[in-house]
Amino acid sequence: MQTTTLLINLSYIVAAVLFIYGLKLLGHPLTARRGNQLSAIGMLIAVVVTLLDQSILSYGWIIVGILVGSGIGAYAARKVEMTGMPEMVALFNGFGGIASLLVGWAALSDGHLSSFILITICLSILIGGVTFTGSLVAWGKLSERIDGKPIKFSGQRAVNSGLIAAIVLCGILFVNYPDAGFWLYLLILLAVALGVLAVIPIGGADMPVVISLLNSYSGLAACAAGFAINNNILIVAGSLVGASGIILTNIMCKAMNRSLSHVLFSGFSTVKSAAMVIEGEVKPMTAADAFYVLEAASTVAIIPGYGMAVAQAQHSVKELQELLEDNGTEVIYGIHPVAGRMPGHMNVLLAEADVPYDLLLEMDDINPRMETVDVAIVIGANDVVNPAAREMEGSPIYGMPVINVDLARTVFVLKRSMASGFAGIDNPLFFKENTRMIFGDGKETINQLVREFGDN
């Protein structure tokens, strides 16, 4: 028995080391895939050892669950578009939350439990329920199945405050009277209601931050469930997910000029862009005319955004990059932390097109070079290059760190129309003297530029 316990604990240590090392490798594009593989191996070890550690009456349903879950996961991973990755992350968070809720609920079957265990069960049910429904709402808003605008009603704060107070009271009663199933069911109901009410007043532009925060919540729920069932590796894994989620949330808050405390307490304000309408003269340009400017450029900076992901233009961009380099032009890419919908979104897309990692410059690295750039090509980005963040104190995004493309000698903005970006804010960049608008599908515009290089 002691030998088995020692083997199990050693296996857990190995799994924990793989988790931690895998997270470290995820910090760089060159090693991210290996980090993901090591973390998956660690999780496999943890699951297998945990199953061997328990008195399993029948493995039939477990095998069925593994096969069905693996099949759904493999299908979803192959079919999901990169533009839909944030929505998938939201669903993953939600499923993690409901799993922790169910694990906490199942822990009640162990019979007489200490107050500490009951408190951890309460926390796993509460955080898991909030994460589940909150993630579903975030998924709905990002996928546009739910209106992305903030949903508010009179007395909303009072309702939320009352709901939180009821959850605290219900939790206390549940811990003191665990045999009364009423308090358990009421706690679950209140938790799932809080998840909905906490997320609906937040606008779609802030959903990426909310998803990162819910990712942290899913980890905290798993950690609480680990205490509830006395499983060390679940505690470690949940803690790592919770901590990494908070770190990512903090990074995104800074990149979007949001306060972490506002995120934690649902303090997002509705963006009011009507009072900040920008007027000026737009200077359109055709791809044929843009070719001559690019042909003479010494340095070109490409700034991708969500529009590039929607147009699936990354391979065309790589082709244009190679043609420019053959013409003697230095090409670099400027990556904003929240370009797209999640951090790393653009990096993954460009890596898919085999763009060298050393050409991908973070915002802090490319901004000092922007004044020396001959042409900045903005492909589907809007809010992350909006100079209103520097120049207009009344703007909702004032103070948000942005890529200063307006400082380049010439700026090409590739857009379908003059519509505002995800945050719904007008962009004075479009009216700058050095900006030229090239309207149309981003991928087709890049392909036109590629053809111009081929014909000349």
Specify the DSSP class assigned to residue 298: S
Give the CATH number of the domain where residue 440 resides.
3.40.50.1220
Integer Cα distance of 402 and 305 in angstroms: 12
Asked, for residue 71, whether it belongs to a domain, the answer is no
Asked, for residue 65, whether it belongs to a domain, the answer is no
Claim to verify: residue 197 and residue 254 sit in the same structural domain: yes
Claim to verify: residue 324 and residue 241 sit in the same structural domain: no
Give the total number of structural domains in the chain: 3
Per-residue pLDDT of the chain (456 residues; tens, 9 = 90+): 577 778 888 999 999 999 999 999 987 777 888 999 999 999 999 988 888 766 666 778 888 988 998 899 889 888 887 777 788 888 999 999 999 999 999 998 877 788 999 999 999 999 999 999 999 999 988 887 887 777 888 888 889 889 999 999 999 999 998 888 899 999 999 999 999 998 888 876 677 788 888 999 999 999 999 999 888 999 999 999 999 888 888 888 877 777 766 655 544 444 444 445 566 688 899 988 999 999 999 999 999 988 888 888 899 999 999 999 999 999 999 999 888 777 777 888 888 888 988 899 999 999 999 999 999 999 988 888 989 888 887 777 778 889 999 999 999 999 877 666 555 577 888 999 999 999 988 889 999 999 988 776
Q: Which residues of 350-370 are buried (b: 16+ CB within 10 A; e: fewer)?
A: bbeeebeeeebbebeebbebb
Claim to verify: residue 142 and residue 188 sit in the same structural domain: yes
Claim to verify: residue 326 and residue 430 sit in the same structural domain: yes
Claim to verify: residue 348 and residue 309 sit in the same structural domain: yes
Asked, for residue 66, whether it belongs to a domain, the answer is no
Asked, for residue 375, whether it belongs to a domain, the answer is yes
Chain-centre distance of CA 14, in angstroms?
28
Q: Look at residue 280 and give its three-state secondary structure.
A: coil
Claim to verify: residue 253 and residue 278 sit in the same structural domain: no
Residue pLDDT, tens place only, 28-80:
777 888 999 999 999 999 988 888 766 666 778 888 988 998 899 889 888 88
Active-site residues: which are they? 383
- Between the alpha carbon of residue 401 and those of residues 50, 100, 211, 368, the distances in Å are 45, 36, 21, 13
Strand partners, 377: 302, 412
Asked, for residue 64, whether it belongs to a domain, the answer is no
CB 171 within 8 A of CB 120: no
Integer Cα distance of 118 and 352 in angstroms: 47
Residue pLDDT, tens place only, 258-283:
776 665 554 444 444 444 556 668 88
Q: Look at residue 85 and give its three-state secondary structure.
A: helix
CB 360 within 8 A of CB 331: no
Claim to verify: residue 88 and residue 207 sit in the same structural domain: yes
Strand partners, 299: 330
pTM above 0.85, yes or no: no
Claim to verify: residue 386 and residue 420 sit in the same structural domain: yes
CB 425 within 8 A of CB 273: yes
Claim to verify: residue 98 and residue 228 sit in the same structural domain: yes
Domain range spanning residue 185? Answer: 80-264
Asked, for residue 418, whether it belongs to a domain, the answer is yes
CB 80 within 8 A of CB 88: yes
Q: Give CA angle at 343 (337, 346), nearest 5°.
A: 85
Asked, for residue 72, whether it belongs to a domain, the answer is no
Claim to verify: residue 172 and residue 293 sit in the same structural domain: no
Claim to verify: residue 425 and residue 314 sit in the same structural domain: yes
Domain stops at, among 264, 282, 312 = 264
Domain stops at, among 264, 283, 304 = 264
Asked, for residue 248, whether it belongs to a domain, the answer is yes
Claim to verify: residue 297 and residue 361 sit in the same structural domain: yes
